[in-house]
Every structure is written in structure tokens, then in C-alpha cells.
Amino acid sequence: MIVLDADSVMSGTCLSTLVDLMEANPRAGIIQTAPRVAGRGTLYARMQQFATRVYGPLYTAGLHFWQLGESHYWGHNAIIRIAPFMRHCALAPLPGKGPLSGDILSHDFIEAALMRRAGWTVWVAYDLAGSYEEIPPNLLDELGRDRRWCLGNMMNFRLILERGIHPVYRAVFASGVMAYFSSLLWLSFLLLSTGVMASAGFASSYVSEAAAAVTSPVVHGSAALLLFIVTASLLIVPKVLAISRICMEGAAQFGGPFRLIIGMIMEVIFSALAAPIRMLFHCQFVLSGLLGSRLQWKSPSREDTETTWGESVRKHGLHTVLGAVWALGVYMVYPAYLVWLLPVVGALILSIPLSVLSSRKSLGIRLRAMKVLLTPEEYQPPVELSAMVTYQDSARSLPGFAEAVVDPSVNALMIACGRKRPVLPSNTKPAREKLLNSAIFHGLDHLKAPEKRLLLSDPVALFELHVKIWKSPWVHPSWREMILRCEWLPAIIGCNDGEAEAARIA
């Protein structure tokens, strides 16, 4: 079977090649493709699409080189051999109480480990084209996804000593949890170094110059410079290598070498600014998981949603205050240290506008017109992505909840497809009646998504709502407007176009 996610797109050639690869490797249990990210238009999403498209091939090729038959499985855009998967990969809930027990969230890593423990290999087809996925459109949506991944990796870490797990997957579990616990280490390092510098600043204010020289921290400039060079190399050199490879092969699909380099610089600057913001959120996720906070997973946005100023203030306001107070305190006590701390506190201070502006689709489209942050999928869209866009555009005109209530034909179809429950529990009937009355008298906008799903799942209630909206004189005006806007009104009331227009006016 080939597993697809809600935002997966795969070409026919990719699908058939996966089948050929599985048939040619009888001990392969899972073959994972390396999906290319495409389909988003916001500035944030386009930077992420650019980064994964430029640096991703080098990264996944490295994973394949080191892991070979013990590779990652990311849960979608992959082919799985069904018999061993059913036999060996059934997941029982983790025992105990608290947030790190119960149903496993990041099930894909565990399934790959169990498949390998049973003697089947897991591979990444890192060079197989035609596999695509989408990413969250803005920073806050990505952080919402990170919260689930954080808790899932913490749960997976409980299995690191499970009997028979291959050492590579023990390393995967460890690196997965350290991807989030490292934020706690980074924050602790920053706080401790700030405390040391603050104590030195206070000491120089209240003791003699000689005593202050003794108590002041010793700064090893050469060691600090070496640490900076090593860190920068780990972060930048792979990106430079990826850029160099693209330039040697031809960078026309990325807007040319100059725009490719400009895109890399923009992405590096944004990543540096976003890192402290992610650090605080990841610390919050780890601590909330350890303290027992439960997580209710919601499907991520599938549109180019933009972050509002109000939402950004609610999510980043405390971090902004923290950054401002931190910077002011350091400046008052030990101003020289603020130069080193500025990339962190400055990013926190700018977190609100950074989150809002990076979510703007208009900025992403403007840069795409300038061929900045361009990817091959934007330069020359593959036929399967073009077909997806065409389908999505046509799907927007399909009936929705309002049509299911008002339109007689759509209402009849929904009722025919539903499971009728003419007998309801005694305590359910009053609540259902209250919901119907609320929908009738307060209108469509008053209903929340769970209430709409409840009505759609109950054919009897849906039919009753339809009848009352058409017959009752006391319905909300929004329902009346929808009835009068219906293209099928002349057929319903049995009159010609002129009579229908008169009816509309009346």
C-alpha cells in the first residue's frame, strides 16, 4: 500500500516506481520518498519551500548514505509491505498515566523501528522525483505542529531501551527528543551567561578596580572565535555546498545564481531571527509535556492563512516583553554583553511583526514575481501540481454546509448518505432541539464547526432544519437571503424568470 497524507501529491511515475522498487527488493518493508515541498504562497512558506528544495536533496542523500536499510519513515508518501506491517507494527498504548502515556502520537518512527526489528529493511528513495507535500503557511501554524511532534518524540524516548530495537533507531529516538530539549539547554546557557555577566557588572560597581578585575569573568577570545567558526560552519557550509551544486548544474529554475544567493541570504537571516522564538516555544512544549498538559491534535491549515496582529500579540506578546526586559537589564548592568546577546533579544522584541509579516501572501507573491526564493515547482509546475490547483479551484464551487441545509437537492443527497437515528437518548433530544432553534433564529454564522458536523451527521435533524428554514416565517434573515440567491429558485417555485424576479423583489 502507498500511504498518502491530506496534502500529498504524487505522480503516476513515482507511484509505479515505488511498486517496482518494492518488488525488486523482497526484504524491503518500507520505502520512503523524500517529498518536495510546494503549493504555498505566503512569504514564510515560500522561504521554507526554498530551503527544503535547495538544501533538502543534500540532507536526504546524507541520511541515505549513513542509514541505508535503517532509514526514516515519515508517515506518508511511502510504500509499505502490508503483511509484515500488520504482523509487527501494531501499536499498543504506552502504559501509565500522564501525557507521555496512551496512544503513540509520532507512530511513524516506531513503525519503522518495529519493521526493522522484525528483519525488514526501511529505505529512503532520496532521488525519486514526483513526490510532493505542503507545509504550514505561517510560523504559528508550524509551531502548533511542532507541539505535537515534541510530545510524540518525548513518548518515543520511552522506547529507546525496548528489546531488539536497532541502534540506529535508538539514535533516532534520542535525536528526536534532543531536537526540543536542546532549546532548554540553550536557554539555560543564555540565562547562566547573563547571570555571570550581571554579577561581574555589579561587582565592578561596588568594589575596587583591583577586586573587580579578580572577580570579573575571563573571556577567552580565541576559544570564543573558534566556537563561533565551528558553529557557523555546521550551519552554513552545507547550505553553501548545496548552492554550489545547483550553480554548477544550472540555476535557471531557481531564478539564476544571483537570485539564488539572495534567497539563501534571506532564508539564513530569517532562520536566525526565528531560532530564539522557536527556542521559547519549544521550552514551553517540553515543560508542559513534563508537567502533564494534555494535547488535542487538530488538523493543520490547508490554506494560505495569514496571522492577524491580535493573534500574534497573544502568542508572542510575553516573549516580546521578556526580550525587552532582558535587553534593558543587560544594558544597564553590563552594556558590552548586549552586543553578543542582541541576536537573541532582538529577535524576541521583533517577534510580533516578524510573525505577521512573514505570513503575508502578498509579500510571497511579490517576491515570486521578482524570481526571488523561486523553486523549480514554481518556475515550471509539474503536471500533477497544476492538476491539483485546477481541482482545488473547482472544488471551491462545490456545495458546502449552507447548501446542504438550504438546497433541496443537496439536502436530499446528504440525508440519503447519512445514517438515520430516529430514536435518540432522552438527554440528547433537548440538546438537539436547542441546536436547531439556535441555527434557525441566529443564522449560519452563529454555528460553530462541531455543531455543523453534528447536524450533517444527523439526517433527521438536517431535514428538520431544511423544512423549518423554508416554511417558518421567523428564520434569521441570512437564511432568507440564501434562499433568494439560489439559482434553482425558479424551478422550485414553479414560475418563469419574470415571475421569479418579482418573487425576489417581494
Does 334 fall in a domain?
Answer: no
Does 97 fall in a domain?
Answer: no
pLDDT of residue 503: 42
Residue 3, strand partner residues? 78
Q: If pLDDT is split at 50, 70 and 90, which confidence band does 116 have? A: very high
CA 150/CA 172 separation, integer angstroms: 14
- Closest by CA to 122, choosing from 78, 69, 172, 62, is 69
Query: What is the per-residue burial (b if ≥16 Cβ within 10 Å, else e) of 172-197?
Result: bbeebbeebbebeebbeebeeebeeb
**Between 266 and 501, the higher pLDDT residue:** 266
DSSP E strand boundaries for 104-151: 121-125, 131-133
Query: What is the per-residue burial (b if ≥16 Cβ within 10 Å, else e) of 278-293?
Result: bbbbbbbbbebbeeee
Look at residue 36 and give its three-state secondary structure.
strand
* Count of structural domains within the chain: 1
Least confident of 38-47, 211-220, 313-322, 380-389: 211-220
Backbone angles phi, psi at 303, to 5 degrees: -125, 170
CA 289/CA 295 separation, integer angstroms: 9
pLDDT of residue 396: 65
Question: What is the gyration radius of the CA atoms in the chain, in angstroms?
Answer: 28
Q: Print the domain residue range for 426.
A: 399-505
pLDDT of residue 216: 52
- Closest by CA to 72, choosing from 80, 81, 64, is 64
CA 322/CA 316 separation, integer angstroms: 10
Q: Are 439 and 474 in contact (CB under 8 A)?
A: no
**Between 231 and 201, the higher pLDDT residue:** 231
Does 393 fall in a domain?
Answer: no
CA 103/CA 228 separation, integer angstroms: 42
Region 16-40: what's the mean pLDDT? 92
Does 60 fall in a domain?
Answer: no
**Between 101 and 370, the higher pLDDT residue:** 370
What's the chain's length in residues?
506
CA 149/CA 37 separation, integer angstroms: 19
Does 463 fall in a domain?
Answer: yes
Instruction: Please enumerate, as own/partner, the contacts of 93-102 that have beta carbons within 8 Å and a separation of 24 or more.
Output: 94/155, 94/158, 98/292, 99/151, 99/289, 99/292, 99/293, 99/294, 99/295, 100/151, 100/154, 100/155, 100/158, 100/289, 101/155
pLDDT tens, residue by residue, 332-374: 877 777 778 888 889 999 999 999 999 898 899 999 989 999 8
pLDDT tens, residue by residue, 438-473: 777 777 777 777 788 887 888 888 888 888 878 777
Q: Are 122 and 29 in contact (CB under 8 A)?
A: yes
Does 452 fall in a domain?
Answer: yes
pLDDT of residue 424: 63
> Number of H helices and number of E strands within the chain?
23, 7
pLDDT of residue 122: 93
**Between 167 and 483, the higher pLDDT residue:** 167
- Containing 278, the helix (H) or strand (E) segment is helix 257-290
Q: Has residue 412 got a pLDDT over 80?
A: yes
Region 98-105: what's the mean pLDDT? 79
pLDDT of residue 494: 47
Q: Could you tell me whether strands 78-80 and 131-133 are parallel, antiparallel, or unpaired per DSSP bridges? A: unpaired
Q: Determine if residue 425 is left, alpha or beta; phi over 0 gives left, psi from -120 to 50 gives alpha, anything else beta.
A: beta
Q: How far is CA 193 from the centre of its chain?
A: 33
pLDDT tens, residue by residue, 394-403: 766 667 777 8
CA dihedral 229, 233, 234, 237 (to 10 degrees): 170
Does 64 fall in a domain?
Answer: no
pLDDT of residue 492: 43
Q: Has residue 474 got a pLDDT over 60?
A: yes
Instruction: Please enumerate, as own/partner, the contacts of 239-246 that have beta carbons within 8 Å and a separation of 24 or more.
Output: 239/54, 239/55, 239/264, 239/268, 241/58, 242/54, 242/55, 242/57, 242/58, 243/54, 245/58, 246/54
Region 248-257: what's the mean pLDDT? 86
Q: Has residue 219 got a pLDDT over 60?
A: no
Q: Around Cβ 144, how many Cβ atoms within 10 Å?
A: 17
What lies within 8 Å, CB to CB, of 27 at 6+ separation is 119, 120, 121
Query: What is the per-residue burial (b if ≥16 Cβ within 10 Å, else e) of 213-224?
Result: eeebeeeeeeee
Q: If pLDDT is split at 50, 70 and 90, which confidence band does 430 have? A: confident
pLDDT of residue 353: 93
Name the DSSP letter for residue 100: T
Look at residue 273 and give its three-state secondary structure.
helix
CA 306/CA 141 separation, integer angstroms: 10
Q: How far is CA 357 from the centre of its chain?
A: 18
Report residue 220 as a C-alpha cell.
577567552
Report residue 443 as a C-alpha cell.
443564522
Q: Around Cβ 156, how many Cβ atoms within 10 Å?
A: 25
pLDDT of residue 200: 67
Region 52-63: what's the mean pLDDT? 89
pLDDT of residue 499: 46
Does 328 fall in a domain?
Answer: no
Q: Are 85 and 29 in contact (CB under 8 A)?
A: yes
Q: Has residue 104 got a pLDDT over 80?
A: yes
pLDDT of residue 19: 95
CA 155/CA 149 separation, integer angstroms: 10
pLDDT tens, residue by residue, 281-311: 999 888 888 887 666 556 666 677 888 898 8
- Closest by CA to 482, choosing from 448, 440, 435, is 440
Q: If pLDDT is split at 50, 70 and 90, which confidence band does 390 have? A: confident
